[in-house]
Amino acid sequence: MLNISNNQLSKGLFTKKYSTLAEVESNESGNALKRLLYISFFICVVILFIPWTQNIRAPGSITSLKPQQKPQSITTIIGGRINKWYVIEGDFVKEGDTIVSITEIKDKYFDTNLLERTKNQIDFKKQAIVTYTNKLINLDEQLKILKNQRNLKLTQSKIKLRQAELKTQSDSIAYEAAKVNLNIAEYQLKRTDTLYKSGLKSLTDLEKRRLKKQQVEAYKVKAENVWLNSLTTLTNLKIEISNVSIKYDADANKIQSLKLATLKDKVTAQSELNKLEIQYSNFKYRNGLYYILAPQSGYVTKTNIGGVGEIVKEGQEVFSLMPETYELAAEIYIDPVDLPLVKIGEHVRIQFDGWPAIVFSGWPGLSHGTYGGEVYAIDRFISANGKYRVLVKQDNEYNWPEALRFGGGVSAMLLLNDVPIWYELWRNVNGFPPDYYTGKLTNKAKKDKK
């Protein structure tokens, strides 16, 4: 009741008979509440100063650092028809084991003796090349013989030319001598005629001189004629030498032209031989592609082509293979705003899907069921999901569970700096980023500096 008058009723009541009223009227409950509030406030203040490990939470999946240890899709290099399967899904195969065989579907490869026939074409083409080579050798011999004949003929013609030059020179001297004799004979005839007119010479002497002059003049004409014939012979020999060179050069050009044509045929045959050899190698290699083999030891996880008789195209995936041994790692994705905080070698705590764990993000030492990791690599470009991929490998603490499978989900915590709880609350309220992780050596250096 309300005490609104000077007459207090509580004094006239027997409160001891009513326990509830007595407890309400007492002050003990208020004191207990105060003590509870003080203790709670003290505990909250203490908690605010407890160290808190800043971290970045990032989802991801299990992968492997080595490309050859990741699941791979086995494709067919050539198109064909599925002939027979030698394994089933889940089978373990060793490197080189036959997985599936295919048969040919292109008509140009249907010939069962294709390799043998191609080999025969190669042999024929090699024989043709040998024939062209022998022909070139014979043509070279002909050129050599023709060159020798040309040299001999030119030598012979030059000797004749030299003889003709000497004979021409001799005839020219004889002609000059005949002209001198003619001049002498004319002079003697004039002198004899003068003496005859003076009566000092007889008519017989004059007639002898006239006869002598006629003989000398005839000899002069004969010598001139011989000299001109020698000149003609000399000119003919020069023309003959020129004709010899022209004739033998023409014959050599014909042989050289034939040689070039033969060389062209040989080069063409060599090119065709190379094409045939490449074709033969391709056919031989293609025969080995009718059987798809396991590139490494592992487990056949999934077949993408079912049944027998189905057609597969070139480059089409036939089945998937999981390697037998692989080194586990985790790939996680972080936001771009957190990228500057992540460093290679930084410690990471990982929780795997399917493995129970009690996680205290701020106190990793109290967490149970998590495993240690270390940042191994950070992508230099952003992924399609708008985040950066970070690869985490196992640390030296202890191995990850052996039952983990490739592609399983993970949840990672990248541990940063240790700060009080009050600072972490204040940072989150103000939207500040976490502190940069500096490591033990840097912190020790800072303390030494202080």
What is the reported pTM? 0.55
Look at residue 395 and give its three-state secondary structure. coil
Which pLDDT score is estimated for 446?
44
Q: What pLDDT, in 10s, does the model give residues 415-442?
A: 666 666 676 666 666 665 565 434 443 3
SS3 sequence, 317-328?
A: EEEEEEECCCCE
Token couple for 303: 């077949």
Q: Rounded mean pLDDT of the chain? A: 79
Rg (CA), the chain: 60
* DSSP conformation letters of 344-376: TT-EEEEEETTS--B--TT-GGG-BS-EEEEEE
Residue 118 has phi, psi (to 5 degrees) of -65, -35
Which pLDDT score is estimated for 421?
67
pLDDT at 28 over 90: no
Domains of the chain: 1-48 (no CATH), 53-68+326-445 (2.40.30.170), 72-97+294-323 (2.40.50.100), 114-288 (1.10.287.2610)
**Exposure of 247 in the CB half-sphere (CA atoms within 13 A):** 12
Token couple for 62: 């299990």
Chain position carrying tokens 């036939």: 318
Element (H, E) at 348: strand 347-352
Which pLDDT score is estimated for 149?
84
Q: Are 373 and 433 in contact (CB under 8 A)?
A: no
Q: Which residues pair with 302 in a beta bridge?
A: 320
pLDDT above 70 coverage of the chain, percent: 80
Q: Are 71 and 320 in contact (CB under 8 A)?
A: yes
CA angle, corner 266, sides to 264 and 268, nearest 5?
70
What value does the mean pLDDT take over residues 345-370?
67
* Of 295, 289, 348, residue with least CA distance to 321: 295
Q: Give Cα 184 distance to the centre of its chain.
A: 101
State the Cα–Cα distance between residues 59 and 330, nearest whole angstrom: 10
**When comparing pLDDT for 222 and 131, which is higher?**
131
* Of 53, 58, 44, residue with least CA distance to 365: 53
Q: Are 330 and 412 in contact (CB under 8 A)?
A: yes
Which pLDDT score is estimated for 51?
72
Which pLDDT score is estimated for 439?
41
Sorting pLDDT into bands at 50, 70 and 90, what band is 52? low
pLDDT above 90 coverage of the chain, percent: 10
Sorting pLDDT into bands at 50, 70 and 90, what band is 92? very high
Task: Report CA-CA distances (Å) from 33 to 24, 39, 43, 217, 219.
Answer: 14, 10, 15, 177, 174
Q: What pLDDT, in 10s, does the model give residues 212-221?
A: 878 888 888 8
Q: What pLDDT, in 10s, does the model give residues 305-352?
A: 877 888 888 888 888 998 888 888 899 998 887 787 788 888 888 888
Which pLDDT score is estimated for 270?
92
Chain position carrying tokens 């004749």: 160
State the Cα–Cα distance between residues 433 and 388, nearest whole angstrom: 17
Which pLDDT score is estimated for 374?
87
Please, which residues have CB within 8 angstroms of residue 103's CB and are 6 or more apart in sequence? Answer: 80, 81, 83, 290
Q: How many helices (H) and strands (E) does the chain have?
A: 6, 14
3-state helix, strand, coil in the chain (%, to 5): 55, 20, 25
pLDDT at 35 over 50: yes
pLDDT at 274 over 90: yes
pLDDT at 171 over 80: no
Sorting pLDDT into bands at 50, 70 and 90, what band is 389? very high
Q: Which residues pair with 85 in a beta bridge?
A: 100
What value does the mean pLDDT take over residues 179-196?
80
Which pLDDT score is estimated for 432?
58
Sorting pLDDT into bands at 50, 70 and 90, what band is 277? very high
